[in-house]
Structure 1
């Protein structure tokens, strides 16, 4: 892969030439388009760790994405300075690398369904085991079937950016190929054969069968290396490693801070975890003596850990740059940094103390019921109206009005294709906020009635 091509400013779905205005670059425009999208705003009511929390301080998907974007910009800019010097790149700025990473990081969770990763599990479980939905998914084949059995928020995010937002535009938000490629941590379709391909880039699906053509355009624009002549699978865009690292840094480090703030981790535990990652911990302890509050001490160390991990990830990327460009390096940067074990300990503690906290488990368990019930009820409605039209049951003709037209079809007539109809339904449910999903569930099940 070649850097000049990897930094392609060509926009998906647009024939316009890249902007010549340097005061606001194409990659900065990508960032702004994501910020002003409705899907981005909805992340303020989507789970990071603690669902439907009443504590203002705790992060949501929105604040996590903003923080990841900040880390991604720093990491990308630091790497960009060295890459430009190494390869004598003409007309490239270090800020371009940073802006691509910032925009991709900003959008990295934009396709996540309600209730965090348990929402993804709920959709997969519904597709595999539900009374009606499993039959509907069962008639599909290959990647169309696996899109539901192996539902993935990353693939849904690619749909949001390229199809669902600004849906009247070819290419959706019409982001640059560089940003879309850096966003796609898993550049593969959902059905590639179990165990055929190794490496982190083959771990999960990154786009649906319907969106494969869109990703092929992106891959062609930036010059990704294809891993199979027939299947839709490529090696990652190099900057996707930085996007992944920024996300990893943020959720590992910041989840510990959130855990401390809500009382699931003691001050001493959080302090020890952070100090274990840092160089010269004794010197830092002396600095802490000048900080009065425990909260402020944790915030100080959190910033120090993020900064040090950025430096270590930058060095890892630059050390492996040649292998990354050739597709020979396909592992998370975090698995090769000097403090890998200490950073792994942060996530292990979070799994033990935070992700299994009672209030988290209770709501995520309820989330399985909410998402499954919404999918099961609405797929029956859509199929009934698709097959019988105006002769569908009165219940179906009424309930379909609860679904926005863009998730049904033109004129509110469900699309004829079974796969496309089911995909539109998962678009609808995956785009819901936590609160809206709960509210709609209560209404369709009769638990809560307007005015009741």
Structure 2
């Protein structure tokens, strides 16, 4: 049973473009389904989490990460009496705006788009679901409910101060543009379901980055024995299952790390929600604080793990070398399309013809480049910049980067 402070579908603020209600799905279930069936969601299959898409079949991609986040979000939302469908929809959509090559690609686009209003993957996710998905006869985008759009925009917290001043510099143009037409109340916290999606993201990547780092050989289980949370988890497994084979030992330890994070979030939420006693979803927004979060103690311990991962994984020499290569690709492609927009696919040229000035063109180019998968970006760079033959391109991706 959902609690009073959950987002009840019958109280939804609706959609920008009014639609007839489904007879067999709630508004939030419909949002989830539209996200899953979107082109942008399918492209996440070939977008980087940490390792470039072709480097291994077992490493997380943006798609598998999003599925894991959605699973955690549903678990947390269900345990807290929240709307599991809304939490899942926001979780599934939260990474739609990521460009190719993970945070490396985003950093490159942020720099390239600085003169044109900036780039931010959360704002880009909102742009995708409100404008760039063009499959429906009556509207651009997916026409999601206000609550799902709010969650995509501000699941990490308010973006404006109460007086309307941006908290972290100017709002990215994609966010400011949509919010001017459809107020998402960027000065408040989001629903409890959106906060669940945000913390589920943290739980998922803290867990799977450890797993992927071990699989890659960038660090070992012995290294993790010296860290908080992971060290006690391995020690517990060793005490219960002495001599357990390595892969089972790894899995058993990391599933305990997962459990520690989930249980901590649930305990903190119960402690915060009890005294606050919010009577509605809006009351959660009006509390002015994040109620779904880690405890201070666990947050400090996770910071130690994140610093370890930063040093040993995100900035490992092999990863740094790859970052340099893929940054160069984005640095080549963006100005090339700016100078020669006729290289864009035919379906993009209508927008190009309507664009007035460099800023409008840059936003179209950023939309196109951000939508690329790792594989497609590598292939287009080889075709347009390196001038490789079709036969060579057919062998990509893999060869282009492995041949360093």
TM-score by length of 1: 0.74
- Using the TM superposition, give the Cα deviation of residue 120 of structure 1 relative to its aligned residue in structure 2, in angstroms: 1.4
RMSD across aligned positions (CA): 3.2
1:269 deviates by 2.4
Do 2:133 and 2:140's aligned partners in 1 also have CA atoms closer than 8 Å?
Answer: no
For 1:66 and 1:46, locate their aligned partners in 2 and report how far apart those are by CA, in whole Å.
14
Name the CA shift for 1:282/1:357 in 2 (closer, same or farther; >3 Å).
closer
| Matching residue of 1:210 | 177
> How much does 1:301 deviate?
2.1
Q: Which residue of 1 aligns with 2:313?
A: 354
Partner of 2:365: 425
Is the CA contact (8 Å cut-off) linking 1:277 and 1:342 kept in structure 2? no
8 Å CA contact retained: 2:157, 2:190: yes
Cα 1:425–1:312, aligned 2, differ >3 Å: closer, same or farther? same
1:238 and 1:15 mapped to 2: Cα distance?
25
Contact 2:6 2:193 in 1 (8 A): no
Match of 2:379 among 439, 442, 449: 439
CA distance in 1, matches of 2:257, 2:169: 29
Structure 1 residue 19 displacement after superposition: 2.9
**How far does residue 167 in structure 1 lie from its aligned partner after superposition?**
5.1
Counterpart position of 2:94: 108
| 2: CA distance, partners of 1:375 / 1:274 | 42
Separation in 2 of the partners of 1:406 and 1:165? 12
> Number of aligned pairs?
377
Give the aligned partner of residue 144 of structure 2.
Answer: 175
- The offset of 1:239, in angstroms, is 2.3
1:91 matched to which residue of 2? none
CA positional deviation for 1:127: 3.4
- The answer to whether the Cα contact below 8 Å between 1:112 and 1:430 also exists between their aligned partners in 2 is yes
Give, in whole Å, the separation in 1 of the partners of 2:84 and 2:232. Answer: 25
Q: Quick one: distance in 1 between partners of 2:333 and 2:7?
A: 44
Counterpart position of 2:350: 409
Counterparts of residues 35-50 of structure 1 (less than 5 Å): 35-50=36-51
Structure 1 residues 187 and 207: alpha-carbon distance in aligned structure 2, compared to 1, 3 A threshold: farther
2-side partners of 1:187 and 1:248: how far apart? 14
Paired residues of 1:312 and 1:337 also in contact (CA < 8 A):
no
State the SS of the aligned residue for 1:408.
helix
Task: Find the counterpart in structure 1 of residue 268 from structure 2.
Answer: 316
Q: Is the 8 A contact 1:120 1:153 kept in 2?
A: yes
> CA 1:206 to 1:105, structure 2 compared with 1: closer, same or farther past 3 Å?
farther
Shift of 1:260: 0.7
Equivalence for 2:17 = 14
